[in-house]
Amino acid sequence: MSEGIRKTWGRVLAGTRAQARRDGGRTDGGREEGERRPGRKRAHNLFEAAAVYVSGCAEDDQDRIDEAAGWVSPEALSFGVNELACRAVIALARERGESPRTVARELLGLPPA
């Protein structure tokens, strides 16, 4: 389990570093505050990045993982992924009529508490 988390976090950091290299070493996306990138319609928010990142992980799509990891800071992505996990567990728990704790443990393959 911790090995998977470590690999995932490594991908997040690698994506952020790759983005910084593309932006000439800047960690703010290569822009001044409030400035838009030419040719881009809008910036991605952390929840959009989390959704693309998690779906990329689920489908083993490294290109999508790397792209989403470059949209926001690693901290923001971590928060977004956490929020997505919470919402998914709550939705499944409601659907199944079980507690979120039971659903989370089942998803992770853990024995009932």
Look at residue 38 in the predicted model and tell me its pLDDT: 57
CA 54 to chain centre: 5
How many Cβ atoms sit within 10 Å of the Cβ of residue 15? 23
With 0-12 / 13-18 / 19 or more C-beta atoms within 10 angstroms meaning exposed / middle / buried, residue 84 is middle
Look at residue 44 in the predicted model and tell me its pLDDT: 84
Extract long-range pairs of 6-12: CB within 8 Å, 24+ residues apart.
8/57, 9/74, 11/62, 11/65, 11/66, 11/69, 12/53, 12/69, 12/74, 12/77, 12/78
- What is the CA angle 8-11-12, rounded to 5? 90
- What's the whole-model pTM score? 0.61
Local confidence pLDDT in tens for the 113 residues of the chain:
445 555 665 665 566 555 555 555 544 544 444 444 556 566 889 999 999 999 999 999 999 999 999 999 999 999 999 999 999 999 999 999 999 999 999 999 999 88
Look at residue 89 in the predicted model and tell me its pLDDT: 97
Find all residues with CB under 8 Å of 104, minimum gap 6, and list them.
89
Q: Which amino acid is at 24?
A: G
Look at residue 14 in the predicted model and tell me its pLDDT: 64
